[in-house]
């Protein structure tokens, strides 16, 4: 029986990609954690594995979550009614900001996301943190847009 040797040039890039993304999503939400997926991208680019490097870049939390939040805000704006997301088991600082600001309170609706115990999606650990980050970033974008629209309405009156 012949034993095949492992081809590290073929096997290593997916391992580096998964390790870079795991390090990104398992690390705390701080600016220095941007270096974790960036290091994996740079290593993959040095190995000339362009597809793997692009996948790590596009799937890292510093690109994927803001892109998803911007897309959700754009879809809601096209529908005509901006919403602030409320999570049942999470405290979002953006909601406190929205409730305290009278310009924002009248311009947006609140929507409880069906996420948590006894719902289809019951996230734990990293996924729960990702969803909370997404909802908070989405709410910040909606609040900024509501304030900008309120300020422009005051200028034109």
At 50-67, the pLDDT tens digits run 999 999 999 998 999 999
Residue span of the structural domain in which 73 resides: 64-156
pLDDT at 151 over 80: no
Does residue 2 belong to any structural domain of this protein? no
Final residue before a domain boundary, out of 59, 75, 99: 59
Final residue before a domain boundary, out of 59, 83, 98: 59
Contact present, 86 and 92 (Cβ < 8 Å):
yes
- pTM for this model (two decimals): 0.78
Structure tokens at 39: 């290091």
Dist. CA 89–CA 152, nearest whole Å = 35
Does residue 1 belong to any structural domain of this protein? no
Asked if 84 and 51 sit in the same domain, the reply is no
Dist. CA 91–CA 17, nearest whole Å = 32
Share of the chain above pLDDT 70, in %: 90
Asked if 72 and 128 sit in the same domain, the reply is yes
Dist. CA 42–CA 112, nearest whole Å = 40
Asked if 24 and 54 sit in the same domain, the reply is yes
Where are any strands of DSSP class E within the chain?
Answer: 83-86, 109-112
What residues contact 8, with CB distance under 8 A and at least 6 apart? none
Asked if 54 and 86 sit in the same domain, the reply is no
């Amino acid at each position: 029986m012949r034993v095949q040797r492992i081809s590290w040039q073929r096997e290593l890039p997916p391992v580096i990609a998964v390790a870079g993304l795991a390090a990104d999503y398992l690390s705390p939400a701080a600016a220095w954690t941007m270096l974790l997926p960036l290091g994996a991208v740079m290593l993959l680019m040095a190995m000339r594995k362009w597809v793997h490097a692009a996948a790590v870049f596009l799937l890292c939390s510093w690109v994927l979550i803001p892109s998803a939040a911007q897309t959700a805000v754009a879809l809601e704006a096209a529908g005509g009614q901006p919403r602030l997301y409320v999570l049942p088991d999470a405290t979002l600082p953006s909601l406190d900001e929205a409730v305290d600001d009278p310009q924002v309170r009248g311009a947006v609706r609140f929507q409880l996301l069906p996420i948590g115990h006894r719902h289809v999606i019951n996230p734990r650990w990293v996924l729960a943190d990702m969803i909370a980050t997404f909802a908070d970033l989405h709410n910040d974008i909606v609040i900024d847009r509501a304030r900008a629209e309120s300020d422009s309405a005051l200028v034109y009156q």
